[in-house]
Amino acid sequence: MAVSLSLFALEKIGVDSVISSLLQSSPSWVVAAIGVMCLSMLLRSAAWHAILGAALPSSMLSQLDTLRATAIGVLMSSTLPARLGEPARAIVISRRAGHPRETMPTVVGTLVSQTLLNVVALIILGLVAFSSVPIFDQRHGALVFVVVGPVVLLAAVLIVPAVLAASSSEKFGRTRAIVRPLLAAARQVRAGLRVFVQPRAGATALVAQLSAWALQALACYLLLIAIGLDGRAGIGAAAAVLLAVNVTALVPATPANIGVFQAACVAVLSGAFGVSTADALGYGIVLQAVEVATAVIMGVPSLLGEGLSWRDVRLRAIHSTPVRLAPISGSSDRSPTSA
């Protein structure tokens, strides 16, 4: 449906106008934006690596392991709907940790930790957007929704183990056999939050994650320069676009959120900065192309390095059966500095 709406919008705006906007973009700035996006992914993987190190100190995961899993996750999110990149990267890193069945719940907990760091970044983006972009003045509820969701998830991670522990007491003897494995898994998920009680690891993860978001905002601004829109839309516009596309991508209906992604760009640039609809749509197309190119550049070599195919990871992510993946030989006894 989103693709159909995009085609309808192209007809109304004028395909010629959009193509003209695309052809006028500067290739050198587009390439620079792709490079910055790749650096952003490196920093995201560094943040996750710090979180994993706190949660699974004995797994001896290398920076390269985490980078590959991150890149594969981004690639899957860019080619599949419903944010399947998240389970995909959890599957890959659990396989690298050596014991997928045992480590998966803790890895899921690390995803919760990184999501909370993303909330901090989105709040900062929101403050910039709400203070500089009039279109967001009446849309504070969107930011509240983005913040409340992960906070509720965090509360569940912290509270559920206590509830399950109470259910497994002597008073509930019949349910003990069912609850006990659930309680063990819930406690493992909570272990993924250990980074927040380790100041050094927590600071590393926070700085790396926020820096990754800053680079993404910079890439968005470089594309404004590429299309010649920087005279009307500056870094505040880049932050607003980044916020909008991430809010709309919470539950993407299409791979890479095609259609809705461009609509978010048009809403911000046309609604708040007076950019023509054709130029705004052209910007949305180029921005998404840059994100997909980054995913392919980083993700395909990572798949090859892990000895996996796109189809393998897709099936595992859809069916959520990482326990069938055998641990990689020798993965549990590598040195932490190995690549």
Q: Residue 216's pLDDT is what?
A: 97
Q: Among the ranges 58-72, 186-200, 309-323, which has the highest mean pLDDT value? A: 58-72
Report pTM.
Answer: 0.79
Q: What is the mean pLDDT of residues 189-215?
A: 92
Is the residue at 223 inside a domain? yes
Q: Does residue 273 have a pLDDT over 60?
A: yes
Q: Residue 265's pLDDT is what?
A: 92
Q: Residue 139's pLDDT is what?
A: 52
Q: Residue 94's pLDDT is what?
A: 92
Is the residue at 246 inside a domain? yes
Q: Are 263 and 8 in contact (CB under 8 A)?
A: no
Q: Indicate the average pLDDT of the chain.
A: 79
Residue 68, both tokens = 């590959």
Is the residue at 244 inside a domain? yes
pLDDT category of residue 10 using cuts at 50, 70 and 90: very low
Q: Residue 324's pLDDT is what?
A: 44
Q: Residue 185's pLDDT is what?
A: 58
Q: Does residue 223 have a pLDDT over 90?
A: yes
Q: Does residue 325 have a pLDDT over 50?
A: no
Q: Are 121 and 43 in contact (CB under 8 A)?
A: no
Q: Does residue 14 have a pLDDT over 50?
A: no
Q: What is the mean pLDDT of residues 216-236?
A: 92
Residue 60, both tokens = 């001896």
**Which of 21-35, 222-236, 280-294 shows the lowest per-residue confidence on average (mean pLDDT)?**
21-35
Q: How far is CA 117 from the centre of its chain?
A: 11
Is the residue at 237 inside a domain? yes
**Which of 79-83, 150-154, 170-174 shows the lowest per-residue confidence on average (mean pLDDT)?**
170-174
pLDDT category of residue 295 using cuts at 50, 70 and 90: very high
Q: Among the ranges 108-117, 151-160, 208-217, which has the highest mean pLDDT value? A: 208-217
Q: Does residue 148 have a pLDDT over 70?
A: no
Q: Are 103 and 77 in contact (CB under 8 A)?
A: no
Three-class SS of residue 82? coil
Q: Residue 332's pLDDT is what?
A: 45
Q: What is the mean pLDDT of residues 284-305?
A: 94
Distance CA 335, CA 192 (A): 21
**Which of 48-57, 135-144, 181-190, 261-270 shows the lowest per-residue confidence on average (mean pLDDT)?**
135-144
Q: What is the mean pLDDT of residues 94-103?
A: 84
Is the residue at 117 inside a domain? no
Is the residue at 339 inside a domain? no
Distance CA 10, CA 6 (A): 6
Q: What are the start-end ranges of the H helices in 249-276?
A: 260-273
Q: Does residue 201 have a pLDDT over 80?
A: yes
pLDDT category of residue 137 using cuts at 50, 70 and 90: low
pLDDT category of residue 159 using cuts at 50, 70 and 90: low
- Please name the amino acid found at residue 78: S
Q: What's the domain count of the chain?
A: 1
Q: Does residue 168 have a pLDDT over 70?
A: no
E strand residue ranges, 65-190: none
Is the residue at 54 inside a domain? yes
Encode 136-174: b = buried (16+ Cβ within 10 Å), e = exposed: beebeebbeebbeebeeebeebeebbeebeebbeeeeee
Q: Does residue 189 have a pLDDT over 70?
A: yes
pLDDT category of residue 169 using cuts at 50, 70 and 90: low
Residue 321 or residue 261, greater confidence: 261
Q: Residue 162's pLDDT is what?
A: 53
Distance CA 112, CA 151 (A): 10
Is the residue at 111 inside a domain? no
pLDDT category of residue 9 using cuts at 50, 70 and 90: very low
Give me the domain span that covers residue 95. Answer: 2-100+195-322
Residue 138, both tokens = 């009446």
